[in-house]
Amino acid sequence: MRRKLISIDLIIVMIIGLFALSGCNNKKENELDPNKEYVKINIPENGSTVNNSMYVILDENIIKYKTSEKEDDSKYKDDVGYSLDVEYYFEGIKEGNTEIWVIDLNPGETRSIIKYEISVDSNLNAKIINSPEKQYKKIKCGYLDNVVEESQVIIDDKNIARDVSIWRCPNEVNIVGIREGNTTMTIRDKDNTEKKYTVKVDANLNVELEEM
């Protein structure tokens, strides 16, 4: 009987240990490694409404989003339209070079774009290798409204255009041009009804959408 009790106690201890290890692993998943270099970019966030800016990683095989740290907003609780500093950290996952673009999403065709050139070395340390400057370009984005909420937007070639609708309103589609070329976009609603569009991006990154 005593041996059985000891065995049960041992099993309980092992289960608790497994849960503790699991918790530690989850905690470490988004933690920054002090021995590793990350790309850090500040992207201000509108604390009272939707985001006014978003980021685009041109090659998601080289770098990925890791975590973010947001400024404490309690001091702004009585303010309207305040802006928060949010530090975004990006982690190298493959050696090579790519770019991260920070694009404003304010209404109108003139948008600011900040381009960060990123280098990832063989040890997967990532760093910014240029001096980013805010560029103002008159860009026509592909825009659709009255889209059924919760619709899925599928772009065949994300190297040509990206859907940034998730940063804005759920019943809008907002397409940003990344590179000159044509691709296909499918909008599929929750009833699996589909509409297809040709996405045309010119040399100045203006986007035209044509229903197929």
pLDDT at position 25? 47
What is the percentage of the chain residues whose pLDDT exceeds 70?
A: 69
User: Distance of CA 12 to CAs 5, 15, 18, 25, Å?
Assistant: 11, 5, 10, 20
Q: Which of 66, 55, 129, 114 shows the shortest CA–CA distance to 92?
A: 66
State whether the Cα torsion 210-207-100-54 is positive or negative: negative
Q: Quick one: DSSP state of residue 147?
A: P
CATH architecture of structural domain 139-212: Sandwich (2.60)
Q: How crowded is residue 73: how many other Cβ atoms within 10 Å of its Cβ?
A: 14
Tell me if 45 sits within 8 A of 84, measured CB to CB: yes
Give span(s): CATH 2.60.40, the chain.
Answer: 32-138, 139-212
The confidence score (pLDDT) of residue 12 equals 55
118 - beta bridge partners?
Answer: 98, 128
Contact of 106 with 81, CB cutoff 8 Å: no
Higher per-residue confidence, 160 vs 132: 160
Q: How would residue 175 be classed by pLDDT, with cut points 50, 70 and 90?
A: confident
Per CATH, is 32-138 categorized as 2.60.40?
yes
Six-digit token string for 198: 């040709």
Split at pLDDT 50, 70, 90, the class of 24 is: very low
Three-state SS at 104:
strand
CA-to-CA distance for 55 and 114, rounded, in angstroms?
Answer: 9
DSSP state of 192: -
Whether the CA torsion 78, 81, 85, 90 is positive or negative: it is positive
Q: Is the per-residue pLDDT at 104 higher than 70?
A: yes
Q: What is the percent of the chain where pLDDT is above 90? A: 35
Residue range 42-58, pLDDT digits in tens: 887 765 555 667 888 99
**Cβ atoms 112, 103 nearer than 8 A:** yes
